[in-house]
A and B are shown apart, each in its own frame.
Chain A
Amino acid sequence: MIEVVDVSKRYGTASVLNHASFTIAEGQLTTILGPSGCGKSTMLRCLNRLERFEDGEIRVGDVVMNGTSAGASSRSAENDLMHRVRQRVGLVFQNFNLFPHLTALGNVIEAPITVKRLPRSQAEDIGRLYLNLVGLSGREHDYPARLSGGQQQRVAIARALAMEPDVVLFDEPTSALDPRLIGEVASLLRLLDELKKTLIVVTHDLDFAEAISDQVIYFEGGRAVESGSARAVFGQPSQAETRAFMNGFRSRQGTERP
């Protein structure tokens, strides 16, 4: 279970997260949906400690992260916290951030070798397993520059999975891809759902969210406005902001796709 309790974050005077609170159940695919600039990507980055926050608390299983206003933690405590969070939570970046100097397999086995200290042969077995899972067997020795955008994303997913996290975060997984590939991403996410991982997907694409989600959190103005099952939120949104976003999105889609 992931619990976000009253988290606030500011960049200077600009408030990015504004008393955000929600919970996410294990083994579910949850999307955090919202317009650009609503703080949803920052929220995601807080979940694996790429960002810190001033106030509130985040709990990922038994790992507890506190706001910085509660007092600065020592450097070693912070390093220890980051280490524990990242063992548990993987992240697939919006633009993948593959390591260009390593092959597909090299990307996937790098962290198991340097962080988990696995022997290379064992790491390679795990790497091949996950590359195979995402449909990239045969491309192990290609460098990222030789792979298409969709293939690069699959390497990035395999790389996150190879650390065997309980939670995998996806930051805008459709935005860097050709629209025709969105269906492939959706089926890939459903495949991962079967691994019983907790998946959290940040997106502003309503159709995509509707296609994949078990649970939905609607984010706006730096806080979770509404959350619930996909059926409830998409079918009967209870909050005015959610309805406005959905109506706006659908009418925009309507004009773009007559």
Chain B
Amino acid sequence: MRIARELSWLPASAGRLVIAVLVLTLAAADAAAQSALERVRASGRIRIGIDATYPPFGMAEGGEFKGFDVDIGRAIAAQLRVQPELINASFDGVFPALQSGNFDVVISAVTITPERSATLLFSDPYIATGQQVVVRSASTIAGPDDLAGRTVGVQINTTAQFSMEKRPGIAIAKYNTIDLALLDLQNGRVDAVASDGPVLRYMMRNSFPGLKAVGVEYTDEKFGVVLARGSDDLRRAVNAALWALQESGEHGRIYRKWFGDPATPSSAETTAAPFDPTIVARTWRLFLRGVWMTAAMAASSLILCLPLGLALALARVQANRLLSSPAAIYIEVMRGTPLLVQILFVYFVLPTVGVNLPAYASGILALTLNASAYVSETIRAGILSIDAGQMEAARALGMNYRQAMRRVILPQTFRRVVPPLTNEGIALLKDSSLVSVIGLTELARTGQELASRYAAPLTIWPLVALLYLALTFPLTRVAEYLERRWRPVTRA
């Protein structure tokens, strides 16, 4: 099962390092004066963190959650007589968010391991599962012991990867999501794919005909509900709820709904081929929501970062060190640290000093703070590129510094920095995909969810690319318009 699932565009080690640093930071800050169970009962809701890109355990289409873990979470909430509040987050982000009190529990196909038990609390297991191997229908591979000398696809940083690494003579190909591994198996680039049994069965049933599972589940793994340290009373309540679900047969009904006989699928899940264009017709509303989220995040940040960037640039060109030095330091820090870390910092670390912003505001804040550093340097370069004679001419006419800046220097600067600022705007728009790490379902995250959900990366990702292109297009048009309008001025 998964240990840590990374954002697909990040190197795995960077992501894990970030998490490690954040967890250490957060471990220092211990919040709860109220016990976890008291908090849940008093608020009348239980906040459940889930990475909903992992069918059949967790899936999301826009705001609607489905899957085994989702049903288990809802059943537990019903037992506790509180409302379930499901919160989507990247697997990278769920543990820090749990530690900082953004969730009460995480139910997200998390394997109980000794390493995790050292820093987190686990409930009793709610499902037992194991790794399995799938191959193409015509393959002669009969099980996990036939894999020597073969290439095996796995999802990166999963227990499947680690178990394969322990077996000699196997070449391992690592993928960010399991649907990509299965796609490559279909394409013949790998000989087998190893992953979690229920996930593989679900994927094959829905989207990957021509593959077969071989051999038995060769590992034994148990998933548990995860709680922050100190939530012992809530853990007791969750365990009692799980027992009650077993006793009443509710757990069995949920299990059969998701993992029952493939011949009679009780879930109303749709089936789709990997290249199915009808997926577009079925998912366009969700894409629209993703496009809207991306556009709103990028536009808000862009509008906010321009005045901030201008202020920083103006501060930095001052001779007075009291003004220029803080701006220089700010820019150095913001440009020298990864945007991902800044987003995680705003969302997870600021709450420990009492600044608790919702995800949307945190995303915009982090993007704005980051982009303003780049924008300010672009504007500063523009200011410095204006001939010194312009300032002298303005001053010689009796204008003071502010008047000269406002009426003479900055209007010329803006004309010059339109092309590089357009670059910044486009970069900002694409960088906004990183806010998915704090659970915002923007365009790239929508693509990731739907690619897993429909196991159709070849339909979904080109569509995502086209939509990004469509979003950047208006920006470049505005820039072209401004350049055309100002051409008589810039022509020497």
Contact = CB atoms under 8 A, between A and B. Distances in A.
Interface stretch (A89-97, A217-225, A240-248): A89-97
B166 interface: no
A90 B396 contact: yes
Given A93-B392, A95-B389, A101-B415, A83 B398 contact: yes
B67 to A, nearest CB: 59
Contacts of B118: none
Q: Provide the main secondary structure of the chain B interface.
A: helix
Contacts of B394: 99, 111
B489 interface: yes
The interface size bin for chain A is 20 to 34
Interface in B463-492: 486, 488-492
B393 A93 contact: yes
Contact of B392 (A50, A98, A163): A50
Interface string B381-398: 000000101101111111
A145 B488 contact: yes
A139 interface: no
A97 B392 contact: yes
Nearest to B396: A91
B408 interface: yes
- Which of B393, B491, B492 counts the most A-chain CB atoms under 10 A from its CB? B393
A239 interface: no
Contacts of A160: 397
B323 to A, nearest CB: 14
Nearest to A144: B489
A114 B399 contact: yes
Interface in A151-172: 159-160, 163
Contact of B398 (A95, A143, A146, A163): A163
Contacts of A143: 488-489
A145 B390 CA distance: 15
Interface string A110-123: 11001110000000
Contact of B396 (A48, A95, A145, A146): A48
Given A97-B387, A97-B389, A101-B489, A114 B407 contact: yes
B391 to A, nearest CB: 9
Interface in A48-83: 48, 50, 79, 82-83
B411 interface: yes
Nearest to B401: A79
Nearest to B390: A97
Contact of B397 (A95, A111, A145): A111
Interface in A5-34: none
A197 interface: no
B398 A99 contact: no
A110 B392 CA distance: 14
A115 B488 contact: no
Contacts of B117: none
Contacts of A190: none
Contact of A114 (B403, B411, B412, B492): B403
Interface in A133-148: 143, 145-146
Contact of B399 (A91, A98, A111): A111
A99 B412 CA distance: 9
Contacts of B492: 145
Contacts of B491: 145
Given A97-B389, A97-B390, A101-B489, A86 B412 contact: no
Contacts of B412: 99-101
Interface of A: 48, 50, 79, 82-83, 86-87, 90-91, 93, 95, 97-101, 110-111, 114-116, 143, 145-146, 159-160, 163
Which 4 A-B residue pairs are closest in the complex by CB-CB distance?
A97-B393, A111-B397, A97-B389, A86-B398
Given A93-B389, A101-B486, 18 more contacts: A79-B400, A86-B395, A86-B398, A93-B393, A93-B396, A97-B390, A99-B412, A100-B412, A101-B411, A101-B412, A110-B397, A111-B398, A115-B398, A115-B399, A116-B398, A145-B488, A145-B492, A163-B397
12 contacts: A50-B392, A86-B395, A90-B396, A91-B396, A93-B389, A97-B389, A99-B394, A111-B399, A115-B397, A143-B489, A145-B489, A160-B397
